[in-house]
Structures are given as structure tokens and as C-alpha cells.
A and B are shown apart, each in its own frame.
Chain A
Amino acid sequence: MGAVLVRAHPKQRRLHMSLFPLTPMNRRRLDNFRRNRRGYWAFWIFLVLFFASMGSEFFANDRPLIASYKGELLFPVFVDYPEDKFGGFEAHTDYRDPTVADEISAHGWMVWPPIRFANSTTKLDPPTPFPSPPTWWLTPEQCKQAFAAHPTAKPHADGGTCRDLEPEWLGTDADGHDVVARLFYGFRISVLFGLILAGISSVVGVFAGAVQGYFGGWLDLVMQRFIEIWSSLPHLYILIILSAILAPSFFVLLTILLLFSWVSLVHVVRAEFLRARNFEYVNAARALGLSNAKIIVKHVLPNAMVATLTFLPFIVNSSIGTLTSLDFLGLGMPPGSPSLGELLLQGTSNLSAPWLGLSAFAIVALMLSLLIFIGEAVRDAFDPRKTFS
């Protein structure tokens, strides 16, 4: 199937070759990756979700994308206009405020993103007390009450039905934030955190493993003992203690988790280096007079990269898992940040609002499953028995 695909686009393939000189081995790996259909689809779905969440501001925001006011074209999503532009007096404009909205609609128009909430927008006129259920969940009775409770709402002549309410696809959480918006922003922050943490800890881990494996001897012995002691420390306790001392933020958490996560790759890389440093072509490179650094980068590292790349999706996964669990325990990101762990926590404390826990669970499960499927496909791609079959 993969071969057929390649043959179908000869032009594209040639372009591909000229941009990245694919060795025949890498081409076979790419084909093997494609052959794992589940992993291949998971990869594309994940990419789409990832880039979509990068542009969360265009999908879920409490500001319009474009507005026209008195003949002037405005871009509120990029520019923070003061309210006096629209006849108010606040420093920032709340476009969701009915007064402002009416003012702009009277003198122009607005284009809103599909979800008119940002991650920390509080719903002003909830149909029920927070957490309020999705609007499609409400009974007509509840809707009528909602209109009655909010004099600013403009019911139709027949007293207002659920359709006239502002849509809440997945309801709000206990603080009145829209759940869909929270999920968008939470996904983004989780994936970014996972990728950055996995990236940095791979770089540190590969470097440490490379140095140990290539030079061996005392250096290796001392570092191995250090790593054994270091990795036998109880991580969670230390995390809890540290997050009590330091005010947690994205980068503080990243640094704390990095302290422990770099160890995971060292063993694999070290083993690869121990094996590869005695290869004849490494000896040949030494005889040619290459420096150690060059030998490591050019000849030995590519061997270790196979193991590293195979592990990477799983490291991303465990990083995301750690962040989510810290948030769930209330030790993670500062309050108010959009985080999937915090949403799960709200789900447990509001068991009468199942949309909180269920939607957070679905997103976490989807994200982790996609990454595991990708990881499996990557592992298949680098499997030498498959590569040479």
C-alpha cells in the first residue's frame, strides 16, 4: 500500500529527495511507519489537533476575530482596544458585555470565533448555578427560569426557548469557565509541556549517556552510581516539597520535572554507545584522525538515535501524565491556568456534573492513546527485523 502511494506521486517523491537526502534505510523506515496504519493515522490526527490547539485563540476566544465599527476595520483578536473607543471607560473592552456588543452591532459588525469564550472567561448569565450543564442538556423548564433570572437576556415573544440561550457545548466548570475552551487551551499547554520536557530531557539524557558510554571507565562508574542514587529518590515527595517552596509556574514545574526525567534515556543511550564504540568503522575513524567529538556525532550517535526516537513518544506521554497528575493533586500549574488535571479534580469534587470529568477524561485518553499509537509505529519503523524484511 505504501509502495503504491509512493509510486502514485513520482514528482512529489523527487522533491522530497532533493529537500531531505533520504538514505535508503530511512526510506524503508518511513515505509514501515506508513505501513502501521493505526500509528500513521494517529500521527496525522495528532498533528491536526496539535496545530489546531496552537491556534486556540482563533477557535475559542472572548473577543471577535474581526470587527467593523463606524467604518473602521478592527482586529480585536490581535489588538487590545481600550473601551473608550466604543464609548466606555474601562482599560480593556469586554466584547461579551451586551452594552458594548449592542454599540458595535449598531455601527458595524463582528465576526466571532466558533466558541465565544477564552480559557478564563466567566459566563455572566448562567442558566443554573455553576457548574452549569451543556445547553442541550437543559430542560425547557430550566431555560425559562434562566431567562427569568437574567433581565438583560432578550427572550423572544414566546418567553424564550433553550435555542435562544448562548450555546455551551460542554457546559461550564465550577468557576464559570467554558469547558470546551478549557479543553482547547489545556490540550495545548499539556502537549507543549510534554514536548518541551521530553525534548530537553532527551538532549540531557543523550549527552550524559553518550559521554558515559563512549569514554567508559571511571567516569562511567561514578555517573552510573550517581544516577542510581538520584533515580531512587522518591520523586513525588520531592516534587511536593519543592512546589510548596517555589511558586509553581509553567517553567518552574518544567525545571523540577526535568531534574528527574533526564535519567530515563541514559541507560539506553549508554548501552548503544558501549556497543558501538568498538565497531570497526569507529576504529577506522580514529585511525583517520577524527576527534572524539566528531566520532561521537557522526558515527556513534546515529546508532543511539534509533533507541532515542523509539522512546521519545513514550517520554512525552509520561511527561504529560506527570503534569496532569500534579495538577490533579493541586500542586501543578497556578490556579486559573487551563489544565486538564484541574478539570479532572473539579470532576471528582462535582460528581453531579459528569460533563466535567467525562470530557477531561476523554481528551486525556485521546491524547495519550494517539501518542502511544505513534510510538508503536515509530518502534515498528526502527525495528531492524521489519526494516530488512
Chain B
Amino acid sequence: MKADAPLLDVRDLSVAFGSGETARTVVDHVSFSLRRGQTLALVGESGSGKSVTAQSIVRLLPYPAASHPNGEILFDGHDVLKMTERELRAIRGARITMVFQEPMTSLNPLHNIEKQIGEIIELHEGRGKGTRKRVIALLSEVGIPNPESRLGAYPHQLSGGQRQRVMIAMALANRPDLFIADEPTTALDVTVQAQILKLLKDLQAKYGMAMLFITHDLGVVRKIAGDVAVMQQGRIVEAGRASQVFADPQHAYTRMLLAAEPKGEAPPSDVSAKTILEADDIRVWFPIRQGFLRRVVDHVKAVDGVSIKVREGQTVGVVGESGSGKTTLGLAILRLIRSQGPILYCGRAIDGLSVKQMRPLRRDMQIVFQDPFGSLSPRLSVADIVEEGLLAQNSPLNAAQRRQAVAKALIDTGLDPDTMDRYPHEFSGGQRQRIAIARAMALDPKFVVLDEPTSALDMSVQAQIVDLLRSLQLKRSLAYLFISHDLKVVRALASEIIVMRRGKVVESGVARDIFAAPREDYTKALFAAAFSIETDASGAVSQ
């Protein structure tokens, strides 16, 4: 075999789901190749067929629902699609390994780390005395501190980043020739993402494996990949050297993707604007009970003494990693969960009000949730969803007027009012998020909590939602509390930001100043990880 022959050669591959008339082609005549030591990134938005392509390389698709009408996948000169199940098993986990997006569900919760990694080694090399040694060596290689003491740990005892490191250790156990990483960092915090990417890059350089990297995040591609293939609706629309594609994109879709980062300036911070909502020293403590009498022995301090002030027409961005208490803070301010500490809405204390007394105030204070698939009831039409708030608030409008109000809210959020009698599942993710925003806006609120409203959406759609939110704010001089882990989006919207970590405020102030010159080490590390995907050496962030 010649040294320059490609390790993986995918030729004219198609994947279809279903059969007969209902068959859907998900991957459409895709070709690419990969040499040893090369990294190829498959980039595309959700539904572009990039994961399906990767999974067909080791034939992990749900056959026979899935089928390959044409094409071949040559791995080291042999067609994977024609291999027997036995031949495939010899390759899977040994010569080709995969790491998936969600490390929690990829690991068996009932096995400890030693067993999980040891199993892979023994499966392909047979049982031996050296297994434990190999496992320890692998763990230290993927950067898990004190690997000897972690051997007995179960997946739930590890952090998300550590779990993904264990997954990588499993994937590396048999020194694969081809390493497939399917969105390996999407479920992780930005700081952890930077660490994992650095690890993957180092390991690849060390062992010279070929890496197929699947992602929707162009920043990640820029960081890790030498070559890139852009996928749209099952086709590769553009491929080439990453530096070249980024510098001079040829296809319109690539250009659109590159331009999709949220842009625009947030309105400058204006302390003279009217204060809509003020909260001082908010605490949300969940008790930990132990013993027979269920005595409270300690508290989980989800939010621990956070003060916040949101002004009319301004946005306060709350940023932080997962588990920092951002969402809990938002729910506490809307009085959807119990909290301590005064909350003032337009100067009126609302922290002591009962559920009933809060009800009329809900008209002014709204929330938009992260997941546009979970936040809309699948059984109600769009009109029902949007007018629900009007009905709950005993609006004096009659049915026809309510429909008009719904139509207006839909137009305001950039939707066609003629679609109001359809059901949520007929809309795309971005459109659904617009419906959720329309539901909040139909009540004409003054204050809106936006809880990661862009996180579940594709990059290009994110930018549109950010633009929509900004224009709504300008038109209605809304006060936003914008919760997000995505600093790029926050930069485009927030006038002031609060950086949270473990329930406490690390740093807060005018957004422009903090983005220009962060004071705290943690904030610096967070920004470095988010904007340039750099790891932090100071140790201010955890694994």
C-alpha cells in the first residue's frame, strides 16, 4: 500500500431513510477522502446530513430503515459497505473509533471507568494482566489528574469535561487509524471545549491518526481542522483547505455561514433610564436533608447573593458556565421559584406576593425559554398558544380582536399571520422560537427574561433571532434579562453584564468595558475560551 493513498475514501455516497415512495435522501452523492495525520471537518447546520455521513462510515445507522442506494466507503482499500458483520466488528473500536456529542449517555452508568476502558482493550486484544496499567496510562494521557484514584469512579461522579476525556481515552485505547468526533464539544462549556480541542489536537499530532471532525461551529473548525467540507441538505457544497475556504469562500452558503455570527451593537448603558426591575442580594438555596428526621444539614446555593438592576430599553446579560445559577436567577426574579431577598418591579415590592397576586403582574413580566421544541405545547395551534396569555389575563378583547392581536404579534416577530392555525411541529426551530417570542410579546410586557433563547438554534438562525430581539427592544423599549453561555450573542445584545460562577457574581458592570478589559482571572479565561478557543493556564477554570 502506498503511503500517500487515502486512508478513508468516501465515493459518491448516498444515504436514504425509508423505502418506496416515502424514501428520503439524507446524504446525496457525497465524496471526500482523508489521509493519515489529516483532519477534515464536516461543517453544516442541523439536518445537513453530517452525522449520518459519519455514522455510515462504521455502518451504525438503523438498518434496514436506512440504506445506501449508491456509493462506496473505502477504508484502507476495503469497502466498508460490503463487509460482513464480523469484519466490521474487528474494525469498530479498534481501527475506527468514535466520540459522540453527549458523554453522559455514551457511557454506561453502571460501570466504573476502569471497566469501561478495560472492556475495549480486552475486546480487541484479549484479557491480560497489563490492562489496568494501560487504563492508567490512557487516563493520564487524556489529562485526568490522579488516574489511579479515579479508576473506580462512575460516570455520574465525573464532570462533563472529564466524561468526554474518558470517552476519548476509550477511543484511543486501541490506537485507531481513524478517529471520528461527532460534535464532541457541543454539550460542554466553552472553557472545557477549549481544553478538549487542545487535547484532541495534541493527541492527533502525537499518533498521526486521521481525524474526521463533525461540528456546526465554524470557530471550532478554524481552530482544529486543516481541511473542511461544508454540507448543506445532504450535499457537500464546498470543500478545500480550511484557511482557503475561510479566506475566500466560493459557495453562497459558506459565505452565509461565515457571515452568520451575531452582529450589531448593543445600546450603550444608560444609568438615567427608568429602573424596571431591581433585585438585591437574591438567594435561592435548596436544602440538603439527611438522616432519619430529614434535618437540613446544608444547602445547595444555586443563587447566592446576586444583586441586579434592569433598566427600561436596556439589556442585562447574565453569563456563566452551566451550573452557575443563571437560569435559577431568572426564574427567581419572575417569582417562578422560591427565593429570598427583595425584588422590586417598577418600585413595587413583589417578593412577598402570593401566586394569585402575582397573576396580573405576569402581563408585564414574560419569559422565553431555551428549547423551542419543549416550550410550545404540541397540541395547540399557534393562535391558541399566542392568545393564551390574553385569555389568562382576562383581556377584554373578543375572539376576533384576539385573533387580530395574535396576527399583530406574529407580524412583529417576523412570521406570516396566515400560519396561525398550524401546529408547532410544522415550523422550523427558528420559527418556533419566534412563536415563543410572539407569545411573550402578545401581552405587551415591559420586562422579558430570555433564558438562552438562541442556544438550541443554528448559527444563521441565532443571528436572526438576535436581530429580532434587538428591534423589538428598540420599538417597545423593553427591559431584557438575557441569560446565555454564548458570549458572542451576549456581546451583541447586552449593555451591562453579570458574570456568574457557582451562584455568585464574579464580575459585573458595563458590557463594553468588561469585554474590552476583563478584570477577574475567571472572566479572562471565559472570554479567551469563547472568542479564540484558547485554554487558560492560570487554573482559574475547572476541568
A residues near B (Cβ < 8 Å) are 23-25, 279-281, 283-291, 294, 298-299, 302
- Give, as a whole number of angstroms, the nearest-CB distance from A192 to chain B: 32
B369 touching A280 by the CB < 8 A rule? yes
A288 touching B379 by the CB < 8 A rule? no
**Cβ of B66 < 8 Å from any Cβ of A?**
no
9 smallest CB-CB distances across A and B, nearest first, come from A289-B362, A288-B389, A280-B375, A280-B374, A289-B359, A290-B392, A281-B377, A287-B367, A289-B392
Chain B residues 439-455 with CB under 8 Å of chain A are 439, 443
A291 touching B439 by the CB < 8 A rule? no
Q: Which residue of B336, B363, B375, B392 has the most chain A CB atoms within 10 A of its CB atom?
A: B392
The number of A-B residue pairs with CB atoms under 8 Å apart is: 64
Known: A23-B423, A287-B362, A291-B359. A281 touches B443 (CB 8 A): no
Q: Which residue of A24, A284, A290, A299 has the most chain B CB atoms within 10 A of its CB atom?
A: A284
By beta carbon, the residue of chain B nearest A279 is B374
Among B336, B378, B379, the residue within 8 A (CB) of A287 is B336
Known: A25-B378, A279-B374, A284-B439. A289 touches B393 (CB 8 A): yes
Q: Can you spell out 20 A-B residue pairs with CB atoms less than 8 angstroms apart?
A: A23-B423, A25-B378, A25-B379, A280-B369, A281-B374, A281-B376, A284-B436, A286-B336, A287-B336, A288-B362, A288-B388, A288-B389, A288-B393, A289-B362, A289-B363, A289-B389, A289-B392, A291-B392, A298-B388, A302-B379
Known: A25-B378, A289-B360, A290-B388. A284 touches B367 (CB 8 A): yes
- Give, as a whole number of angstroms, the nearest-CB distance from B26 to chain A: 16
A289 touching B358 by the CB < 8 A rule? yes
B388 touching A285 by the CB < 8 A rule? yes
Among A280, A289, A290, A294, the residue within 8 A (CB) of B371 is A280
**Cβ of B334 < 8 Å from any Cβ of A?**
yes
Q: A289 to chain B: which residues have CB within 8 Å?
A: 358-363, 389, 392-393
- Give, as a whole number of angstroms, the nearest-CB distance from A32 to chain B: 15
A24 touching B336 by the CB < 8 A rule? no
- Give, as a whole number of angstroms, the nearest-CB distance from A310 to chain B: 17
- Give, as a whole number of angstroms, the nearest-CB distance from A348 to chain B: 51
B392 touching A294 by the CB < 8 A rule? yes
Q: A290 to chain B: which residues have CB within 8 Å?
A: 388, 392
B residues near A (Cβ < 8 Å) are 334, 336, 358-363, 365-367, 369-371, 374-380, 388-389, 392-393, 423, 425-426, 436, 439, 443
By beta carbon, the residue of chain B nearest A305 is B379
Please report the C-alpha to C-alpha distance between residue A283 and residue B378 in the assembled complex, in whole angstroms: 14
Q: Which residue of B379, B393, B443 has the most chain A CB atoms within 10 A of its CB atom?
A: B379
Q: B393 to chain A: which residues have CB within 8 Å?
A: 288-289
Among B365, B369, B423, the residue within 8 A (CB) of A284 is B369
- Give, as a whole number of angstroms, the nearest-CB distance from B309 to chain A: 21
Q: A284 to chain B: which residues have CB within 8 Å?
A: 367, 369, 375-376, 436, 439
Please report the C-alpha to C-alpha distance between residue A288 and residue B367 in the assembled complex, in whole angstroms: 8
Q: A24 to chain B: which residues have CB within 8 Å?
A: 423, 425-426
By beta carbon, the residue of chain A nearest B370 is A280
Please report the C-alpha to C-alpha distance between residue A23 and residue B361 in the assembled complex, in whole angstroms: 33
Q: B377 to chain A: which residues have CB within 8 Å?
A: 281, 298-299
Besides A280-B370, A280-B374, A290-B392, 4 other A-B contacts (C-beta < 8 A): A284-B436, A287-B336, A287-B367, A302-B379
- Give, as a whole number of angstroms, the nearest-CB distance from A210 to chain B: 16
Q: Which residue of B370, B371, B388 has the most chain A CB atoms within 10 A of its CB atom?
A: B388
Q: A298 to chain B: which residues have CB within 8 Å?
A: 377, 380, 388
Q: A288 to chain B: which residues have CB within 8 Å?
A: 362, 366, 388-389, 392-393, 439, 443
Please report the C-alpha to C-alpha distance between residue A281 and residue B388 in the assembled complex, in whole angstroms: 12
Please report the C-alpha to C-alpha distance between residue A290 and residue B358 in the assembled complex, in whole angstroms: 11
- Give, as a whole number of angstroms, the nearest-CB distance from A347 to chain B: 49
- Give, as a whole number of angstroms, the nearest-CB distance from A387 to chain B: 11
Known: A23-B379, A291-B359. A283 touches B336 (CB 8 A): yes
Q: A302 to chain B: which residues have CB within 8 Å?
A: 379
- Give, as a whole number of angstroms, the nearest-CB distance from A251 to chain B: 36
Q: B423 to chain A: which residues have CB within 8 Å?
A: 23-25
Q: A280 to chain B: which residues have CB within 8 Å?
A: 369-371, 374-375
Please report the C-alpha to C-alpha distance between residue A286 and residue B367 in the assembled complex, in whole angstroms: 10
B367 touching A281 by the CB < 8 A rule? no
Please report the C-alpha to C-alpha distance between residue A286 and residue B336 in the assembled complex, in whole angstroms: 8
Please report the C-alpha to C-alpha distance between residue A224 and residue B443 in the assembled complex, in whole angstroms: 40
- Give, as a whole number of angstroms, the nearest-CB distance from A215 to chain B: 12
B376 touching A287 by the CB < 8 A rule? no
Q: B358 to chain A: which residues have CB within 8 Å?
A: 289
- Give, as a whole number of angstroms, the nearest-CB distance from B234 to chain A: 21
Q: B371 to chain A: which residues have CB within 8 Å?
A: 280
Please report the C-alpha to C-alpha distance between residue A286 and residue B375 in the assembled complex, in whole angstroms: 12
Please report the C-alpha to C-alpha distance between residue A226 and residue B331 in the assembled complex, in whole angstroms: 34
By beta carbon, the residue of chain A nearest B436 is A284
Q: B334 to chain A: which residues have CB within 8 Å?
A: 287
Q: A283 to chain B: which residues have CB within 8 Å?
A: 336, 367, 369, 375
- Give, as a whole number of angstroms, the nearest-CB distance from A144 to chain B: 70
By beta carbon, the residue of chain B nearest A292 is B355
Q: A285 to chain B: which residues have CB within 8 Å?
A: 388, 392
- Give, as a whole number of angstroms, the nearest-CB distance from A235 to chain B: 35
Please report the C-alpha to C-alpha distance between residue A142 and residue B489 in the assembled complex, in whole angstroms: 98
Please report the C-alpha to C-alpha distance between residue A23 and residue B439 in the assembled complex, in whole angstroms: 20
Q: Which residue of A281, A294, A298 has the most chain B CB atoms within 10 A of its CB atom?
A: A281
Q: A279 to chain B: which residues have CB within 8 Å?
A: 374
By beta carbon, the residue of chain B nearest A388 is B425
Q: A23 to chain B: which residues have CB within 8 Å?
A: 379, 423
Please report the C-alpha to C-alpha distance between residue A283 and residue B371 in the assembled complex, in whole angstroms: 12
By beta carbon, the residue of chain B nearest A289 is B362
Q: A287 to chain B: which residues have CB within 8 Å?
A: 334, 336, 362, 365-367
Q: B369 to chain A: which residues have CB within 8 Å?
A: 280, 283-284
Please report the C-alpha to C-alpha distance between residue A288 and residue B374 in the assembled complex, in whole angstroms: 16
Q: B379 to chain A: which residues have CB within 8 Å?
A: 23, 25, 302
Please report the C-alpha to C-alpha distance between residue A302 and residue B366 in the assembled complex, in whole angstroms: 25
- Give, as a whole number of angstroms, the nearest-CB distance from B445 to chain A: 10
Q: Which residue of B376, B377, B389 has the most chain A CB atoms within 10 A of its CB atom?
A: B377
- Give, as a whole number of angstroms, the nearest-CB distance from A27 to chain B: 11
Q: B363 to chain A: which residues have CB within 8 Å?
A: 289
Please report the C-alpha to C-alpha distance between residue A285 and residue B369 in the assembled complex, in whole angstroms: 12
- Give, as a whole number of angstroms, the nearest-CB distance from A216 to chain B: 14
- Give, as a whole number of angstroms, the nearest-CB distance from B296 to chain A: 16
